[in-house]
Amino acid sequence: ADDAHYMGGCLLNENLQWGAILMTYAALPPDPAIVGARWREMWLERLDRIEAFPAIWMQHPWRDRYWKHGSVCEDYGEIRCPVYAIGGWADGYSNAIPRLLRGLKVPRKGLIGPWAHVFPHRGFPGPAIGFLQEAIRWWDHWLKGRDTGIMDEPAYRVWMQESVPPQPQYEHRPGRWVAEDRWPSPRSVRRRWYLNPGRLQDRPEVGAGLTLSSPQTTGIASGEWCAFGADGEMPLDQRQDDGRSLVFDGEPLSAPLEILGAPVVELELSVDAPVALVAVRLNDVAPDGASTRVSYGLLNLTHRDGHHKPAPLVAGRRYRVRIALNDSAHAFPPGHQIRVAISTCYWPIAWPSPQPVTLTLYPGAGTLQLPLRPRAPDDGRLREFDPPEVAPGSRHAPLKPLPFKRTVQRDLTTDEVIYTLSSDGGEFGGHSLARLDEIDLELGYKLSKCHRIRETDPLSAKTELAQEVRLRRGDWSLRIASLVRLSAAADGRTLNFEARLDTWEGDGAEAPVRSRTWDLVIPRKLF
């Protein structure tokens, strides 16, 4: 329900990306230096059994037994060992940390820094911390019985992020460490604002319904669902998406306001289609108008009563829905405004609904609830983390940096917007990505990703991801190439999944050792 596959019941494009990468990983061969002459036989057997992972996941769009059997939240009591859960605000998985603290009954701690999907001692955006030393303190306490003091410290520690102008990446995210002795914290205060016409206010004002049908390109400033520390991953200035959304602004703040936890938006709405989604963003608007995304949430409205039992919407019927946004720690400064932005699509993060949707929102009935965190005197007395250290690892030489290039183009003749990402570290002849000296292996990898959609047609959505991997040791060399595509059928009832995986042995080999193809039709079960 909150992974690379679906968010709020909405299919994520990350599902295709991660599944395509996993298919390519699965095609890698056993190392002849480890398994011997059987490596080729084992490799061919592996290639013959590869699954089309994205298609499998798309066949389970509801919360069924397929997902439940591997989900911690089905029975937190199954975890009987102490847990230290660690993540980053720029990661796609930070919500798991407060959920674990809330659900587990064993001794537990949580830590969230400003980082992407990287280890905290390589933390990016910074500041990085001495994660390895922190891990040793934890293990020495629980595995060796040593008094390291780690369990005397607060249970939940996070990086309270300060307001910053939106930009494609941050070397360092300004902020400070804060902590709570337990989570949920009894110190947290929920403050409510009403979504009145164009405004966030303390009292409801009932007005005429506000209608919206967002262009399908709304969300182009969203950044990546999960950041990995590469250039161009962060959300950009939200004004271009705000202009395609219903927005509700609070008055300029007269004093600092800090939140820690999951913002919640409740809406009363109706739509004109049986399948629709709503995207809600919480933004920090500076006096110069720059709009920085603080958090966001998605809801497939057919999942309004739960992800296990979706039901079509009835056109014109009024529904009340609740959207929990991603957990966040953010400090709004005086003079800034809190903004809620609501749209009917969020491309390329989420796959669009089968048809354009007109949403009617009833002002005065919807609310924004923010988890306010009062400042604590103990924040300034927290134990400082040790400086980052890197443990001894394999000796390797990067032979070529892995550059990332991201572009957004608009074809004015077709009104199609094309988002592309490419990285190229795949060639040899002195240009490979890296050489692992200890095992005498050269690695090459390149990737390209493309999202396409037309402004008014959700069925024009297309995503394509291509990869190539090269391995070489002496006269032993391999090449693996994969191409995965997803598109919508013209009737809106199915998705078309296509994939091809080719493998070659030997430099310059023309005929693939194995070629696998998939051409599958995926029913759209209310998404």
Beta strand 108-113 pairing with 10-11: unpaired
pLDDT on residue 401? 57
The pLDDT of residue 397 is 67
CA separation for the pair 58, 445 (Å, rounded): 27
For the four alpha carbons of 230, 93, 124 and 53, in that order, the dihedral sign comes to: negative
Q: H or E segment at 44?
A: helix 39-49
CA-CA distance, 291 to 9, in Å (whole number)? 27
Q: What is the dihedral of CA 462, 417, 165, 232, to 10 degrees?
A: 50
Contacts of 134 (CB under 8 A, 6+ apart): 111, 120, 150, 385, 386
Burial of 161 (0-12, 13-18, 19+ CB in 10 A): buried
Q: Which amino acid is at 18?
A: W
As a whole number of Å, the CA-based R_g of the chain is 24
The 10 Å Cβ neighbour count of residue 86 is 22
pLDDT of residue 435: 84
Judge contact between 246 and 201, C-beta under 8 A.
Answer: no
d(CA 177, CA 328): 13
pLDDT (tens, 9 = 90+) of the chain, 527 residues, equals 899 999 999 999 999 999 999 999 999 999 999 999 999 999 999 999 999 999 999 999 999 999 999 899 999 999 999 999 999 999 999 999 999 999 999 999 999 999 999 999 999 999 999 999 999 999 999 999 999 999 999 999 999 999 999 999 999 999 999 999 999 999 999 999 999 999 999 999 998 999 999 999 999 999 999 999 988 999 999 999 999 999 999 999 999 999 999 999 999 999 999 999 999 999 999 999 999 999 999 999 999 999 999 999 999 999 999 999 999 999 999 999 999 999 999 999 999 999 999 999 999 999 999 999 999 989 999 999 999 998 887 666 666 555 778 999 999 999 999 999 998 765 544 445 688 888 999 999 999 999 999 999 999 999 999 999 999 999 999 999 999 999 999 999 999 999 999 999 998 778 999 999 999 999 999 99
Cα 310 to Cα 277, 346, 369, 501: the distances in Å are 13, 20, 25, 35
* pTM, two decimal places: 0.95
> DSSP label at 513?
S
DSSP percent split of the chain into helix, strand, coil, nearest 5: 15, 40, 45
Pairing verdict, β 494-505 and 476-488:
antiparallel
